[in-house]
Structure formats: C-alpha cells, structure tokens
A and B are shown apart, each in its own frame.
Chain A
Amino acid sequence: MERLKIVVIGASAGGVDALITLLRELPASFHLPIMLVLHVPPDQPSLLSQVLAFHCELQFVEAQDKQPLQAGWVYCAPPGCHMMVEPDGQDAYVSLNVDPPVNLSRPSIDLLFESAAHAYGQGVLAVMLSGASDDGAAGMRTVFALGGQGWAQAADEAAVATMPQAALAHNPRCKEMPLRGMVAQLLAVRQAMPLEMTA
C-alpha cells in the first residue's frame, strides 16, 4: 500500500451513492490522484463531477485529453469516450479516445484499469463498486498481473452486486470490503506517508 501511485475506480448502476460514501471521507489533501469511470449515457452531459464535488472535499473534474494528473483530484470519464492514463516520465496525464465500446461499455472500466496497470505496475489500487455488468473484471486481472491490488465492494452493501462479484470471481486476490473499510485503509496509508508526500 505504501507504494500506491494512483487509485482507479469503476462503478455503474447504484454507483453514485457508493462513490459519495467512499469519497466524502477523503480529505482535500489526499496524496494520490483518483481516476473514475462511471457508466453514463453517451449522448448527454454528465453532472457527475458537480454532484460529487457538492458532497466531497476532493477536487473533481470531467477529464480532458492530455490533462496532467495531480494528487487530491478526481478525474471523471466524460460521456461517450474512453478514459485512460498515459505515463510521461515521472508524471502522467489523461488520455481519451473514441474507439468503439469495449464489452458494451464506453467509457470502459477495463480500459482504465489496464492503462493504469501498464503505467504504474504495483502502484495501482483498483476499486470496483456497485454495478450490473462485468466490466472491470478483466481490467483488474491485468492490475494484479502487473503487481497492483484490487478491492471490491462487499456484496451485502452494494446496491447492485454483479460487478464487484464479477471482479472477485475473476481475481482470487481481490479483497471484498465494505466502503467503511476502504476509507479506513486509504486514510491509514495517507497517515503513514512521509510529510512531504502528503503536502
């Protein structure tokens, strides 16, 4: 956990409430960038970043292509396109594309997770929240294969447990956790960071 460089989150049906519960507990000074794919309709503007910003201390933005990643910011995938992370030396930035849907989804959680795995290896934490598809399960396999870790929202707590259950089924090392447990772990990691890394 000390090696974490990025948190990537996938969510779908029932995901907004879970996101609010999870992210509102993280301070504005959170030490990592967070990238977030929520399945949204492709042809209308999404209010996701505004809704989450209303409840949370973190900064939220609908991601733009080539936007540099910064700690304490949450990058939300825009409707109708894929969002990935592109490494750039010591830094990284957002990469969008309009390739066809993957596994019926655009944005695709699989593509976000895979790109993070290739960019950061063991520095990735992939989190799967409530949802009704199996998008993200394959992406999480890549995360584990390249040394990262994964969490799935506990089935009894997820509004729709299909997606976190698929992640667990495909990834034996994926941890099933309640949102409260996720918050506690993320805050504990931050506490353990040397001061200059949390600034």
Chain B
Amino acid sequence: MCGRPDQSLATAVPVSDFDIQLHLLLEGVFLKYQHDFRNYSRSSLRRRVQQAMDHFGCTTVSGLQDKVLNDAELFSRMLQFFTVQHSEMFRDPQHFRLLAEEVLPMLATYPSIKIWVAGCSNGEEVWSLAILLHEQNLLERSVIYATDINAQALRTAESGIYASNRIAQFSTSYLEAGGRRSLSDYYHAAYDKAVFDRSMRRHMVFADHSLATDNVFSEVHLVSCRNVLIYFDRRLQDRALRLFRESLVPRGYLSLGSKESLAFSAHVDAFAPLHTEQRIYQLRA
C-alpha cells in the first residue's frame, strides 16, 4: 500500500522557530521515509518531538532532523515517539458493552463480518473485539483488519502478548464490558507475560496502512478508530473519515474514542449518532 501525497492536505504556516524547524523535519521525514506526519496536530507533536530531542540528545529540532535523515535505524526508533499510543483491552468498558449489545447483533445479520481497526497500535482493541465476537459465536465468520503505520506496534499486536501486570486492569474492564466468561479463558501465562489464544489470530489480518497516504482496501461493516483522529489536524481527520465512509457498507458502524467528535468534521452529516456519549455512529444509508 505505497502512498502518495494527498494534495488536499495543505498545512498551517508555522510561527515560532520551533514550529519552522518542526515543519522542515516533517517534510524531510516524508521525502526520505515516506511517512507522512505533516498533518498531525502540531500541538500534540511538539511535546513528542521535544521528548525525542531529549532522548537523542539534541538541543534543536534541526539537530534532530540531521540525525533522523542520516540514520534510518534512528528513524525507526523516532517512529515510537511520533506514534506512541496508550491503549488497553476493553478501554472505556461501557463503549465495548454497547458494541456487544447493540452493534454485534446487527453485524450478525451479515453472512460474513468484516471489521477494520484503523491505527491499531499494539492491538489491545483487536483482541478485545475478537473476544466479544467469539462470545456471540461470530468470530468464525469474521475478519478483523488491523492496520497501523508502525511496524513494531503491528508485530506486538500480532503476537497478542501483553505484560501480565496489565492483566488485572484488562480483566476488570472485560467484566465491566459485559464479558461472559473469565478473561483468563483467553490467555495462558508465561513468565511475566500473558499470551492470548492463537486460534483467534486466524481471524485477524495485520497490515501496514497510513490514513494520511493510503486508500480504501476493503468493504467493512464496522470501523473502530479510537484516539487516533485527535492526533490529526482537521484536514487529515476529514481524509480519514472519508476513507471510513468509502469503506463502510450502508448503515455500517463507526466507533471513535471518548474525546473525539464528528461535530466539526466535513462528514458530520454522513453519520447518525447511535450513542453520542460513547461515540458510536452509523453511516446513513
């Protein structure tokens, strides 16, 4: 899924020296590595770039740029700063409860079910959805497409291996989300890790995909994209939402993060809120 720049994505004019150098860094990263962060929210990026500067011992963004553009291995480590996400299994349990109680029964009416987790990061959400599908006997006829731009995160997501000190929180959220069994039915412990059931892996497809530069790849019934759009600027958010619109079947579902909103998007009229507070929307037919 090799990407090309999207001409509709003009960027804001930088004011401070920091922002001017940040602008140049992002242009350089795009030209050299084809990773397009130019339309990420500047206010969120500044902190992350500052942290990368501290980590790599740089006093200016230009200094960081010099290292990043001349050292591909360093760039792959830099990617962790650009894309670091903090996810959990069954994060916001009420959200997953609604998916299980109101969305999955509708998806069950389709002969086969396709779900796209866009910006899946380390995959906690992917495995959560697989468990919910399994408990409604839907997993056998489901495929979950899990995409991200971060190859290292995709490998973690695919492995389904998480630190066991996170499992207590995951278990609590699983039960609050209406889980019907015990989360421990789905993983085995190995030293300080929890390894999730490999048989569920057969229903997942992991792929490198950028919401900034790539296009639609499949028709799906549910898009889950949580806490990704808040890190995009308005233009890139609208581009991502366009992809979701084009990808969803009529009356397909869109699940967003708790602080995200369609209200100020160009696509607000294309979706009807199914549950406003939990940010679950349905594409209008």
Contacts and interface: CB of A to CB of B under 8 A. Distances in A.
Contacts of B257: 98
B285 interface: no
Contact of B230 (A65, A119, A120): A65
Contacts of B47: 99, 102, 111
Contacts of B233: 86, 88
B234 interface: yes
A67 B230 CA distance: 11
B12 interface: yes
A114 B46 contact: yes
Contact of B264 (A68, A84, A87, A99): A68
A69 B227 CA distance: 22
Interface residues of B, number: 27
A115 to B, nearest CB: 4
A118 interface: yes
Contacts of A120: 15
Interface string A115-134: 10111110000000000000
A59 B172 CA distance: 40
B137 interface: no
A86 B263 CA distance: 17
A100 interface: yes
Contact of B43 (A67, A100, A115): A115
A11 interface: no
Given A64-B264, A66-B237, A87 B230 contact: no
A95 B46 contact: no
Contacts of B230: 65, 95-98
A98 B261 contact: no
A172 interface: no
Nearest to A120: B15
Interface in B222-244: 227, 229-231, 233-234, 237
A118 B16 CA distance: 6
A98 to B, nearest CB: 6
Nearest to B41: A95
Q: Chain A interface secondary structure, helix, strand, loop or mixed?
A: mixed
Contacts of A100: 86
A150 interface: no
Contacts of A88: 12, 233-234
A118 B18 contact: yes
Contacts, number: 84
B265 interface: yes
Interface string A33-74: 000000000000000000000000000000011111000000
Contacts of A78: 259
Contacts of B44: 84, 95, 97, 99
A98 B86 contact: yes
Contacts of A146: 15-16
B260 interface: yes
B41 A121 contact: no
Nearest to B237: A66
Nearest to B260: A65
B42 A66 contact: no
Given A84-B43, A95-B41, A96-B259, A66 B234 contact: yes
Contacts of A95: 41, 43-44, 230
B168 interface: no
A106 B233 CA distance: 21
Interface string A159-170: 000000000000
A86 B16 CA distance: 13
Interface of A: 64-68, 78, 81, 84-89, 93, 95-100, 102, 111, 114-115, 117-121, 146
8 contacts: A64-B263, A84-B43, A86-B12, A86-B42, A88-B233, A99-B86, A111-B43, A117-B16
* 10 tightest Cβ-Cβ pairs between the two chains A and B: A84-B43, A115-B43, A66-B264, A95-B43, A64-B261, A97-B44, A118-B16, A87-B12, A95-B41, A96-B259
Interface of B: 12-13, 15-16, 18-19, 41-44, 46-47, 86, 227, 229-231, 233-234, 237, 257, 259-261, 263-265
